Amino acid sequence: MSADGVVRLYFNRPEKLNALSTPMVEQLESHLDDIAANADIRLVVLSGTGGRAFIAGADIAEYQGNRHAQFIAYQLQSRRVFDKLEALPQPTIAAVQGYALGGGFELALCCDILVCARSARLGLPEAKLGLSPGGGGTQRLLRAVGRHAAADVMLAGRYLYGERAYQLGLASVFCEDADFDSAVQGHVQALLSMAPLAQTQIKRLMRLGQDCSLPGALSLEQEVLFRLYGTEDGQEGIDAFLQKRAPRFQGR
């Protein structure tokens, strides 16, 4: 963790385009458990190493041999870990250069913000293997871009290039690869300027509200606002605005 409370998780298997293996998923789960329990962590950034891939999917060699019990165990573990990533109280950024396929794209879909370089290639090509996505891809991509765009990715095996992902509203930021690091850092700084309690509650509202009725979600939204107004950060933000200065949020 850096001094400003940012944790950067790197998928570091460049010789395999950072393909997810069982040990990698286990390590990721351990890190996510630590992050969720640490109130000093403000933000999590996930990225791949090597420049050619974020995560190019699962390590398909682990699938070979019709080892049914092992396959099911891996898929259940992956779903649990991806759900933990989506449920983190802290904001999360998926910084995507190169391939983000299969489980790699599913993992990125669990993040709050996607920063995509021009080289980004996002896809769910499981049907090419005679399989279907199993880490949330069919449902999270559907909710993110709608039925028809999601069907093209999954049924026809097409990639979403970085610029197209941005046009569809999937990527929050699109940039040239030469500007990728500065684009990610710019978004990190923007997120760090916000009140952490407010961010946590807004994340919770978005996660819960999409499955609620509109009246129920609106009531939940107001309950959160009322609580935030009574926090030190809520009053600090109001005072700072009126005094024309930068707020000093303390997470209280």
- pLDDT one-digit tens code per residue, 92-118: 999 999 999 999 999 999 999 999 999
Predicted pLDDT of residue 174: 96
Predicted pLDDT of residue 1: 67
Percent of the chain at pLDDT above 70? 100
Task: Report the relative pairing of strands 160-161 and 121-123 from DSSP bridges.
Answer: antiparallel
Q: How many C-alpha atoms does 79 have within 13 Å on its Cβ side?
A: 13
Predicted pLDDT of residue 59: 73
DSSP annotation of 111 reads S
Q: Which CATH superfamily is domain 6-192 in?
A: 2-enoyl-CoA Hydratase; Chain A, domain 1 (3.90.226.10)
- Report pTM: 0.92
Give the pair of three-digit tokens for residue 63: 């699938």
Domain boundaries, the chain: 6-192, 196-242
Nearest to 9, CA basis, from 22, 19, 29: 29
Alpha helices in 88-179 (DSSP H): 103-109, 137-145, 147-155, 162-167
Residue 229 burial (CB count, 10 A): 11
Say yes or no to pLDDT of 78 above 70: yes
Predicted pLDDT of residue 34: 95
Q: Which positions are catalytic?
A: 106, 126
Predicted pLDDT of residue 63: 74
Range name among 54-68, 75-89, 159-173, 231-245 with the lowest pLDDT average = 54-68
